[in-house]
Structure 1
């Protein structure tokens, strides 16, 4: 898949000389797809130099290109500094433009500001950035009637509305939000003949909708909503050429695998979960760690979840061991990204996997490792920034306590600590409308309060 990217790297040379002067991608998403992360960083610096050069032909356009490049760097690496550079470059482009004289470019730069904010909210859990993004998208939409900027502004507004509802909305709301994406996606599809980048952007729009439906369906345990996510990710992958759009294709396969896992769990369909593991393994076969570390880590996490589900279905300790190995591979990337909520969620999932493995094997050393790792993550967690991730960690810690009680038959104060963790988790889950997790936590509380002879029957 990345042969053309490697050829570009060879042509650019060890010092990436051309990139240091002018860059080669020009902010084109299709060309950025082919560049490894290190070269993409050089592209960002090259675009900054081009924008600040005396006699630059179109500094605002160059600033916009720099913003697009740095945002992609941030998305691949979870790099807050790169995202700040992207936001600053987009702001400078907006400030340098007159919305009345160049409305399309001004709106495109304002849209880029909006997507920088959306990326920050997604990566770092700062939901306040969604509100800032909405302002940017609506201002851009008020300036232009059609074209790429208008389609992207409409897409951004749909994303913000979807994120606002995903924590509390029901299945009917999910279908309404999914419908809001139909217009922007159709508009981007229609632009593909005139705007080369529109093809990739249309696929990314489908993936954004799929990601929302995936989260929505997981919260509700709704197989119909999850099927929407599977279909969108599949449609995006079919429209992409992995030879020229390798990273977006890999992201589509990763998301398809994640959605298939959740869909299979909701239906109790082991074949669907196996298909998910196959899709994720295929994506990892084609996705290089140095090309996009964060996407590689997400693929590992998705594979781990699929293996964990297969292990649960077959009660096979070996599947849990393989899942823990995949979690550990993801940890190679995430341990360097302490500010990402994804790190805490991954640690909690790994702990739950170890706890279940210990239940099957009776190995207390596995529980010791899981408990220690989870407590380290909880100590570093920021409940105000990521309350759901924090509550999930509490739920998994309670599960570890419960597993130890079941294996050893001894309490040692763990029952009370588990109940306290579950009580706090229930409050957070209920506040955010996570009914499935509320039921799971309440069931765990019921098991803890049941007499010992009844615990295995609950």
Structure 2
């Protein structure tokens, strides 16, 4: 693993494509003496491109290049490194598209390569980090609120990965090891925040804030722009969620301020998904603050930011796209609920139905189902305000249609939410 993957952060999308294609060609050339190295680096390049854009073609290229690297491996250690790369692509794909079945593939790949890397400290540290990644996702898949033991087991994996990654940084002082150490902390921060949200525990958010403030001071946005951007995102969300739990507008405002700087670490052209994730976090912060202090101007700003993010072209099926659509709809409906404003609900309904007329269920079934579930929430809210049963009947129809698609596409988190709403509607009926 001679290439310095930290340098990829400085490459724009076009340079990543160019380098990925060149490496694919070099790996496939008959005259290339060592095909393992170019194939492995191609897998890393395409994975980085896929992480920033959500492009499924890039993810398939990353998986194919890693598989080719495994075929060209000259010893068990190289085969293990190729398996590690394949596993990371599986986990990334599961993150981007909620294809959770790929987590089992990642588990098998890691199990097959683990025994071969005991003598290589650098590779062992990366194996530990990816194993921690996998453990965190399996805990989330199970439900952190439903199985705290699984979350604690994942946290023990993550803590070991953080410790080993930190030791690597102290030993090598290499930028790629510094970024690996940051990524291990991402796993810990994400899991702590999920448990904190589930249990309304602001002390966990405070732990994340302290950890990421220290991490932020060790990174340079000029040389690690993408990693720095992801640190800022998590730091801001920890402030926003801490403020929500404690009911403190000043704490939420600190998170908003982190996301509102004019000098952004990355722009849309450099990393589309990071840019969109930042905008979604900013909208969530504005939404939380508007609901806490009941401020119409902040609600409008939140809606504008959601709209700005949704105007950007995103791959169909991306979980981030679904989150944006869902969160914007919740923002509209919650605002109407707080004010008991039937006219606002009518406006939101007209907006949802206009989107449904444009969105074809066959072309984008998941987007269509998310809109149906949001429409159902609106009907439930209107029924709560007016007391009319017909609203709940319409909500049930919409939720049944959405649930069928979520289950068909194995989108467990969305299916669980739709099922919970449907049960509530039926109980009230």
**Fold match by TM threshold 0.5:** yes
Name the CA distance, whole Å, in 2 between partners of 1:270 and 1:438.
Answer: 30
Is the Cα–Cα contact under 8 Å of residues 249 and 289 in structure 2 kept in the other structure?
Answer: yes
Name the CA distance, whole Å, in 1 between partners of 2:398 and 2:198.
Answer: 20
Is residue 315 from structure 1 mapped to residue 294 from structure 2 by the alignment? yes
Instruction: Pick which of 304-313 and 190-199 moved more.
Output: 190-199
Q: Which residue of 1 aligns with 2:238?
A: 259
Name the CA distance, whole Å, in 2 between partners of 1:203 and 1:165.
Answer: 20
SS in 1 for 2:221: coil
Is the Cα–Cα contact under 8 Å of residues 140 and 149 in structure 1 kept in the other structure?
Answer: no
Q: 1:402 to 1:89 in 2, by over 3 A?
A: same
Q: CA deviation at 1:60?
A: 0.5
Name the CA distance, whole Å, in 2 between partners of 1:283 and 1:57.
Answer: 48
Q: Which residue of 2 aligns with 1:206?
A: 185
Unaligned ranges ≥5, structure 2: none
Q: Which residue of 2 aligns with 1:330?
A: 309
Q: Which residue of 2 aligns with 1:15?
A: none
Unaligned ranges ≥5, structure 1: 1-25, 450-458
Give the number of aligned pairs: 413
Q: CA RMSD in A?
A: 3.5
Name the CA distance, whole Å, in 2 between partners of 1:256 and 1:182.
Answer: 19
Q: Which residue of 1 aligns with 2:278?
A: 299
Is the Cα–Cα contact under 8 Å of residues 354 and 366 in structure 1 kept in the other structure?
Answer: yes
Is residue 44 from structure 1 mapped to residue 20 from structure 2 by the alignment? yes
Q: CA deviation at 1:160?
A: 1.8
SS in 2 for 1:286: coil
> What TM-score do the two structures reach when normalised by structure 1?
0.79
Q: 1:190 to 1:337 in 2, by over 3 A?
A: same
Q: Which residue of 2 aligns with 1:183?
A: 160
Name the CA distance, whole Å, in 2 between partners of 1:123 and 1:152.
Answer: 21
Q: 1:216 to 1:38 in 2, by over 3 A?
A: farther
Is the Cα–Cα contact under 8 Å of residues 59 and 89 in structure 2 kept in the other structure?
Answer: yes
Is the Cα–Cα contact under 8 Å of residues 374 and 397 in structure 1 kept in the other structure?
Answer: no
Q: Which residue of 2 aligns with 1:153?
A: 127
Q: CA deviation at 1:283?
A: 8.2
Instruction: Pick which of 295-304 and 261-270 moved more.
Output: 261-270
Which of residues 309, 333, 339 is equivalent to 2:317? Answer: 339
Q: Which residue of 1 aligns with 2:66?
A: 90
Is the Cα–Cα contact under 8 Å of residues 396 and 422 in structure 2 kept in the other structure?
Answer: no
Name the CA distance, whole Å, in 1 between partners of 2:258 and 2:144.
Answer: 29
Q: Which residue of 2 aligns with 1:107?
A: 80
> What TM-score do the two structures reach when normalised by structure 2?
0.84
Which of residues 27, 30, 35 is equivalent to 2:6? Answer: 30
1:85-127 per-residue CA deviation (whole Å, 9 max, x = no partner) reads 0111111111111334xx2x33222111110110111111111
Name the CA distance, whole Å, in 1 between partners of 2:321 and 2:202.
Answer: 27
Q: 1:187 to 1:212 in 2, by over 3 A?
A: same
For 1:226-305, list aligned pairs within 5 A. 226-282=205-261, 285-305=264-284
Q: CA deviation at 1:378?
A: 9.4
